[in-house]
């Protein structure tokens, strides 16, 4: 239990609440990571206050995440969801609101930890006001996305570069993200810490899915599964192109593609990514082969991962790769893009297949190589489950807690930047 006399950590997450329903809108891996790490820190006696912007008039001002960790909603901007592009103009007001809230409670914080670049703009001001260390997690990076072919957000990239230069410690979700911080932002190696997220092996546990298959009318069908926000970053368009090629092959006449996820922004007028993808799926031989399930609650995803023969993660970039890890925990092989953190989660040829580039024929061949070989698929599934057990939230919490302890003067600094495992150290040294 947290020590009531110990100063808390102020966690800044302007737009992403750890208690939001996963799979809705922008909610995803970042929300989950903040929640699981704060829960774990609380169990280790490290209290946290997570500050978010109020985006729902009916939500309470405060809510317990876990004993010792609370969510604080601040009335900054309209009490409704707003696009992430509009969050930056609220950052000064948000920082002032955090300071006022702390002062009203006589609350002092020993660390401020920001999640995402907007939050970094807030944390930089709080560090100045409170004279405490500032830890920065980005989750995604503008220059990494641009390298993957997405439009460069120049103002964001410049802001991120300044945050990288000024933060006391940078936390990366993967060695790949750490290397991007070094290569694309010139981050000093000795200020970067790698804390890979984990997976809940009790929730994501292999199970019988015959009843779920029957309820979905999938008996006798081989299933390819996709989960993620429907936005260009996640690459569902590449999967649809690959599926088009697969279903044209006679041996895949029984193939069904399940798509779990919805638009990251409002697509109610038919102009969103989901509508575009659905129109594409209604054309040619894909017609009737693709089911769009919409947003699926996180606790219902295990059944879908488990019933699939293969899970496909065609993202253009990923800092980590939660979907790949969760699928592997269920013993489902993964065909994923050979980018970012996915290359650390998926072991190519062992737990799945890593695919370079966006060529749809290459993706179709990779998926077919798993679907058409039951023996190989079974071996991959067993290896995938074993691989997933090496990614634990306890380890992530230990890494983050060690960062806080060193910055607070509670622990002797490690010879390595963040107590990395040997593999991570060597990869970082290799640049």
**Model pTM?**
0.92
Contact 220, 254 (CB under 8 A): yes
What HEC string does 68-135 produce? CEEEEEECCCCCCCCCHHHCHHHHHHHHHHHHHHHHHHCCCEEEEEEECHHHHHHHHHHHHHHCCCEE
* CATH architecture of the domain with residue range 8-198+393-430: 3-Layer(aba) Sandwich (3.40)
CA 52-54-56 angle, 5° bins: 135
pLDDT at 271: 66
Under CATH, what is the fold of the domain 210-388? Rossmann fold (3.40.50)
Helix, strand, coil in percent for the chain, rounding step 5: 45, 15, 40
Q: Which H or E element spans position 290?
A: strand 290-294
Mean pLDDT by 10 residues, the chain (431 residues): 66 92 76 96 97 94 97 95 91 98 96 98 98 97 96 97 98 98 97 97 94 93 96 95 95 96 63 88 88 93 98 98 98 98 98 98 98 97 98 96 92 49 51 49
> Can you give the residue ranges of every domain in the chain?
8-198+393-430, 210-388
Do 210-388 and 8-198+393-430 have the same topology in CATH? yes
In 3D space, the residue among 320, 301, 311 whose CA is nearest the CA of residue 381 turns out to be: 311
Token pair of 38 as six digits: 């704060």
């Amino acid at each position: 239990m947290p020590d009531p006399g110990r100063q808390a950590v102020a966690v800044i997450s302007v737009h992403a609440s750890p208690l939001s329903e996963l799979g809705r809108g922008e909610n995803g891996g970042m929300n989950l990571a903040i929640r699981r790490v704060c829960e774990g820190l609380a169990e280790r006696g490290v209290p946290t206050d997570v500050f978010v912007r109020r985006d729902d008039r009916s939500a309470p001002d405060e809510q317990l995440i876990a004993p010792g960790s609370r969510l604080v909603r601040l009335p900054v901007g309209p009490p409704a969801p707003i696009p992430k592009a509009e969050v930056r103009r609220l950052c000064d007001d948000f920082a002032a609101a955090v300071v006022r809230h702390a002062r009203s409670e006589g609350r002092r914080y020993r660390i401020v930890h920001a999640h995402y670049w907007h939050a970094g703009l807030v944390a930089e001001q709080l560090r100045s006001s409170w004279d405490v260390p500032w830890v920065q997690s980005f989750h995604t990076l503008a220059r990494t996305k641009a390298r993957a072919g997405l439009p460069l957000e120049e103002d964001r990239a410049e802001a991120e570069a300044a945050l990288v230069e000024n933060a006391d410690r940078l936390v990366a979700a993967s060695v790949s993200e750490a290397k991007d911080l070094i290569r694309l932002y010139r981050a000093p190696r000795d200020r970067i810490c790698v804390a890979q997220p984990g997976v809940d092996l009790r929730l994501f546990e292999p199970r019988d899915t015959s009843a779920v298959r029957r309820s979905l009318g999938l008996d006798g069908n081989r299933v390819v599964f996709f989960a993620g926000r429907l936005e260009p970053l996640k690459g569902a368009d590449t999967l649809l192109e690959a599926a088009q090629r697969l279903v044209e092959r006679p041996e895949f006449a029984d193939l069904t593609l399940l798509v779990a996820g919805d638009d990251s922004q409002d697509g109610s007028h038919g102009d969103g990514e989901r509508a575009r993808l659905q129109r594409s799926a209604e054309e040619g031989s894909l017609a009737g082969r693709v089911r769009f399930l919409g947003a699926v609650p996180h606790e219902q995803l295990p059944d879908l991962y488990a019933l699939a023969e293969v899970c496909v993660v065609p993202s253009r970039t990923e800092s980590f790769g939660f979907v790949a890890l969760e699928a592997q925990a269920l013993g489902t092989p993964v065909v994923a893009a050979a980018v970012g953190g996915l290359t650390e989660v998926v072991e190519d040829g062992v737990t799945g297949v890593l695919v370079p580039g966006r060529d749809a024929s290459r993706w179709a061949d990779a998926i077919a190589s798993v679907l058409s070989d039951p023996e190989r698929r079974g071996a991959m599934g067993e290896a995938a489950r074993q691989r997933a057990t090496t990614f634990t939230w306890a380890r992530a919490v230990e890494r983050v807690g060690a960062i806080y302890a060193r910055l607070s003067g509670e622990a002797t600094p490690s010879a390595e930047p963040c107590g990395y495992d040997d593999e991570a150290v060597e990869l970082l040294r290799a640049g």
